[in-house]
């Protein structure tokens, strides 16, 4: 049996997307022994396409067990540096498959929670109102707190909360150091617990972060807001993808390399006059009012 070693450099959303690549490997090589190395091993747990999910910092005897005197194929290149990803002509998953000579059949991510996990986690989230999941901020802005490149402006979040809070329990997925809002229930939990909670939800307002990848994996249509990144190469048709308004200012891009904007939201790159110009909040509310 040949070892196919998929090394994933990046955040949890990229790891979720990588589950589709694991499926492509197994479809091409039925007897493949798929080994995944990443920073978020829990994404790949219970995945029938993955033989081992190993986490950086907790890998022992890897060379001995999977490389030395073994048949192996290493898939460690970064799809973010491929032409068809940088020019946004193809989806991340398609690029990832093509660069490793794998078939691409519109694969989407897959997450596998067992029933025991689901039952155990969901008991913690009883609610008298329907659950509304909100992810307003991503993970790359610990110092700035807010990244214009992908986070929802506070003015948008406040209007959404005002509109939906009377009838929904708005569960805000966030870290303790991220922006919080009144009339929401903050939740900072493990990845798999968050997904079990999300399975209980009626509505979901997300940004381009791990939750939109995960909801695609769980077949949970959501409203996803996009600012500087594009659903063409990172999004999914299952979602209602809301694109930001056209820029009203010329951005400062002298430090940009392969991407137009720093995802952490470098203030000098801000391409609008003010945050109120980024989205039409009525469009977001209308999307959330639809039965997705």
pLDDT at 292: 59
Answer yes or no: do 27 and 67 share one domain. yes
Answer yes or no: do 189 and 71 share one domain. no
Measured torsion, CA atoms of residues 235, 236, 242, 248, in degrees rounded to the nearest 10: 30
CA distance 73 to 92: 21
10 φψ region: left (φ > 0), alpha (ψ -120 to 50), beta (else): left
Q: Find the CATH number of the domain harbouring 262.
A: 3.40.50.2000
Domain-ending residue, one of 99, 134, 151: 99
Containing domain of residue 124, as a range?
A: 115-289
Evaluate whether residue 138 is within a structural domain: yes
Residues 6+ apart with CB under 8 A from 120: 196
CA distance 242 to 105: 25
Evaluate whether residue 109 is within a structural domain: no
Domain-ending residue, one of 99, 126, 156: 99
pLDDT at 174: 95
pLDDT at 291: 67
pLDDT at 117: 96
Answer yes or no: do 78 and 130 share one domain. no
Evaluate whether residue 108 is within a structural domain: no
CA distance 8 to 76: 7
Answer yes or no: do 30 and 146 share one domain. no
pLDDT at 12: 97
Evaluate whether residue 120 is within a structural domain: yes
pLDDT at 145: 85
Answer yes or no: do 235 and 284 share one domain. yes
Tens-place pLDDT, residues 65-121:
999 999 999 999 999 999 999 999 999 999 999 999 999 998 999 999 999 999 999
Give the other-Cβ count within 10 Å of 239's Cβ.
21
In total, how many domains does the chain have? 2
pLDDT at 79: 98
Domain-ending residue, one of 41, 65, 99: 99
pLDDT at 269: 95
For the question of whether the overall pTM of this predicted structure is more than 0.75, the answer is yes
Answer yes or no: do 230 and 266 share one domain. yes
Answer yes or no: do 123 and 252 share one domain. yes
Both tokens of 130, joined, read: 């329907």
Evaluate whether residue 56 is within a structural domain: yes
Evaluate whether residue 110 is within a structural domain: no
Q: Which residues of the chain have pLDDT under 70?
A: 140-142, 291-292
pLDDT at 1: 86
pLDDT at 142: 65
């Amino acid at each position: 049996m040949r070892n196919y070693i998929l090394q994933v450099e990046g955040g949890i959303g990229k790891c979720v997307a990588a589950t589709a690549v694991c499926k492509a490997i197994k479809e091409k090589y039925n007897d493949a022994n798929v080994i995944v190395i990443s920073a978020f091993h829990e994404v790949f747990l219970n995945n029938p396409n993955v033989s081992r999910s190993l986490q950086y910092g907790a890998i022992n005897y890897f060379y001995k067990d999977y490389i030395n005197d073994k048949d192996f194929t290493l898939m460690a290149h970064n799809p973010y540096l491929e032409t068809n990803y940088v020019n946004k002509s193809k989806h991340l998953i398609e690029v990832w498959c093509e660069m490793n000579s794998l078939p691409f059949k519109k694969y989407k991510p897959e997450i596998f929670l067992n029933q025991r996990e689901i039952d155990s986690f969901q008991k913690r989230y009883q609610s008298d109102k329907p659950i509304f999941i909100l992810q307003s901020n991503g993970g790359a802005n610990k110092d700035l707190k807010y990244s214009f490149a992908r986070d929802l402006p506070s003015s948008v979040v406040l209007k959404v909360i005002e509109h939906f809070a009377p009838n929904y329990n708005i569960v805000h997925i966030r870290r303790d150091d991220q922006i919080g809002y009144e009339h929401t229930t903050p939740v900072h939990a493990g990845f798999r617990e968050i997904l079990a909670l999300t399975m209980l939800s009626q509505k979901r307002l997300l940004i381009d972060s791990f939750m939109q990848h995960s909801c695609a994996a769980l077949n949970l249509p959501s409203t996803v807001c996009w600012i500087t990144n594009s659903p063409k190469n990172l999004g999914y048709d299952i979602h209602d993808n809301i694109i930001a308004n056209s820029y009203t200012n010329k951005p400062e891009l002298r430090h940009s390399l392969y991407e137009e904007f720093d995802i952490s939201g470098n203030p000098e790159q801000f391409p609008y006059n003010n945050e109120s110009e980024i989205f039409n909040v009525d469009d977001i509310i209308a999307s959330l009012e639809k039965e997705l």
